Amino acid sequence: MSLALDPAAQDLLFREARTANTFTDEPVTDEQVQAIYDLVKYGPTAFNQSPLRVTLVRSAEARERLVQHMAEGNQAKTATAPLVAILSADNEFHEELPQLFPHFPQAKDVFFAERPAREGAAALNASLQAAYFIIGVRAAGLAAGPMTGVDFEGVRKEFLDDDHTPLMVVNIGKPGPDAWFPRSPRLSYDEVITTV
């Protein structure tokens, strides 16, 4: 084998993992979410920045507010998932860089003094962290249903502020009946990899 990761773990994280469209009513606990975060926070980002922010939507009232901003095809599954997370990018992440990148604390001002530079970096690195978060959900033995069929501006106004840019909404839980669509094809190695 060319991979160090156990084949069962490879299946859990990638080969057998799928985007779930239905869920059981088994709750997702705060302890599970903390375990997921405590694992995935080690994923690499530029300058060790950590712009990802996770808003857990637990209350029935908040869930109703969120569902109205979901695309029609995403409303029912968002209304019934055990847990829903709004993943967003904090465009003021640079304020934490002296703590997170202590060997060059000036990075905060040298590279990220201007808002457009911060927004670009936050979007890229929070997206990386969002991918790690999805893998972490799978590592916890749960299924993730990430969605971008969302009125992002509505979600921002409803749950966030001007310093946070929503990236996606993720339904989380144990997969329910008929949770999977047929797996879509993937590109082959030769279609993707080029050696120069």
pLDDT at 167 over 80: yes
pLDDT at 171 over 80: yes
Average pLDDT, integer, range 166-186: 94
Task: Express each pLDDT in 111-144 by its tens digit.
Answer: 999 999 999 999 999 999 999 999 999 999 999 9
Domain 23-174 indexed as CATH 2.40.160.40: no
Q: Which one, of 135, 127, 167, lies nearest residue 150 by Cα?
A: 167
The sign one gets for the Cα dihedral 29, 32, 38, 39 is negative
Note the pTM of the prediction, 2 decimals: 0.95
What is the full DSSP assignment across 51-77?
A: -EEEEEE-SHHHHHHHHTTB-HHHHHH
Which pLDDT does position 190 carry in this prediction?
Answer: 97
Which pLDDT does position 186 carry in this prediction?
Answer: 95
Summary count for the chain: helices (H), strands (E):
9, 4
